[in-house]
């Protein structure tokens, strides 16, 4: 297994974990209230979701597409 494939797997796992924590955060009472009042989730939640999506995409690319 090459080093780029190993890094891809790690990024994929970290990205999925961040997405999970971001999703859990969106379901919290405080975040639901903030989203209702402002129309947006908190900055912390958005960083979890955006960072998780970026890490998962990069990990998937390195794991499955890069030769």
pLDDT in tens, 30-62: 989 988 999 898 999 999 999 999 999 999 999
To the nearest 10°, report the CA torsion of 48, 50, 51, 56.
110
- Per the CB < 8 A criterion, the answer to whether 3 and 38 are in contact is no
| The predicted structure's pLDDT at residue 51 | 97
Phi and psi at 66, nearest 5°, equal -75, 130
Predicted TM-score of the model (pTM): 0.87
CA distance 36 to 50: 20
25 pLDDT above the threshold of 80: yes
Convert 55-64 to b/e letters by CB count within 10 Å (16 or more is b).
bbebbbebbe
């Amino acid at each position: 297994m090459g080093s780029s494939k190993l890094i891809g797997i790690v990024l994929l796992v970290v990205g999925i974990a961040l997405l999970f924590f971001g999703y859990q955060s969106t379901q919290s009472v405080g975040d639901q209230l903030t989203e209702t009042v402002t129309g947006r989730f908190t900055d912390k939640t958005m960083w979890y979701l955006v960072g998780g999506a970026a890490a998962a995409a990069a990990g998937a690319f390195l794991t499955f597409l890069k030769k």
